[in-house]
């Protein structure tokens, strides 16, 4: 499947780009993270501590063990600081 993967705040800075299109067979968010972290150091650095990260699937907050089937857009970012 082909996913739009988006990065925000320091995740974006660490990986060095705001979004990319990724072809993957990862069944879950965690599997996608493992796949990305294995790519390059900058990805490994960004995904080193999952407790410091949040994920949204198709613009809804989700969990790292959520399945990716049917998903088109995945976003990774730090805890939000709105308001």
Partner 1 sequence: MTVRVQEELFDLGAETAGFAARASGAGAVVTFTGLVRDVPGGLSGMEIEHYPGMTEKALTAIRAEAMARWSLADALIIHRYGQLRPGDLIMMVATASRHRADAFAAAEFLMDYLKSRAPFWKNERVGSDSAWVAARDEDEAALSRWQD
Q: Which stretch binds partner 1 (CB under 8 A): 25-33, 36-44, 58-66?
A: 58-66
CB 29 within 8 A of CB 40: no
# chain residues binding partner 1, by CB under 8 A: 17
Binding mask 38-57 for partner 1 (x = CB under 8 A): ------------------x-
Q: Could you write out the DSSP letters of every residue in 5-49?
A: EEE-HHHHHHHT-SEEEEE---SBHHHHHHHHHTT-HHHHHHTS-
Which residues contribute to the site for partner 1 (CB under 8 A)?
A: 6, 8-10, 12, 56, 59-61, 75, 77-83
């Amino acid at each position: 499947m082909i996913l739009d993967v988006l990065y925000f705040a320091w995740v974006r800075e660490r990986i060095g780009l705001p979004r990319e299109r990724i072809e993957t067979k990862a069944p879950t968010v965690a599997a996608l993270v493992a796949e990305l972290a294995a790519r390059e150091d900058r990805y490994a650095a960004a995904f080193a501590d999952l407790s410091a990260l949040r994920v949204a699937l198709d613009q809804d907050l989700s969990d790292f063990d959520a399945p990716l089937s049917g998903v088109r857009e995945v976003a990774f970012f730090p805890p939000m600081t709105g308001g």
